[in-house]
Structure 1
Amino acid sequence: MIVCVCRRVSDKTIAACAQQGEGFDAIQFEHGVGTQCGQCVHTAQRIWSECHPSQRLLHLHQELAAASPG
């Protein structure tokens, strides 16, 4: 699906870049995501955060901390 209509960037492109470890800023610079009208930024960031390795680990740590009895 196309996430950024202005620059025709798909969710697959964002996910692939994120899985390769690229930061969201790098994706914006390289592909122009969210740099014109800005309507796609939240969706693009969500896709990036779901696919970026460091963000997935951070999410797991937060879930474990919340689930641990304390």
Structure 2
Amino acid sequence: MIVCVCRRVSDRDIARHAHAGMGFDDIQFELGVATQCGRCEGCARDVVAQCHASRPVAALHNMLVAPHAHGAGV
């Protein structure tokens, strides 16, 4: 779905950058989202927040699993 019509930025573009660890300000600078009319800013921020909200659980899971995996081979 196109989030930013002015710059033709999709939710997938925003999500890809957010999953790479970028915050909204960095994504805005990189993609130009919400830099013209500004109507898409709320939606773009929501996409970034959803991506970041889903990430800590996976990161925590990986941190908990990794020590056990290393200890099993010793």
TM-score by length of 1: 0.74
Deviation at 1:44, TM superposition (A): 0.3
Partner Cα distance (2:42, 2:29) in 1:
16
Larger radius of gyration: 2
Q: Which stretches of structure 1, 4 residues or more, deviate above 2 A after TM superposition?
A: none
For structure 1, list consecutive stretches of 5 or more residues without a partner in the other structure: 58-70
The answer to which structure has the higher helix fraction is: 2
Aligned to 1:42: 42
Deviation at 1:4, TM superposition (A): 0.2
Aligned to 1:3: 3
CA-based RMSD: 1.0
Matches within 5 A, 1:1-70: 1-52=1-52, 55-56=53-54, 57=56
For structure 2, list consecutive stretches of 5 or more residues without a partner in the other structure: 57-74
Task: Name the structure, 1 or 2, with higher relative contact order (CA <8 Å, separation 6+).
Answer: 1
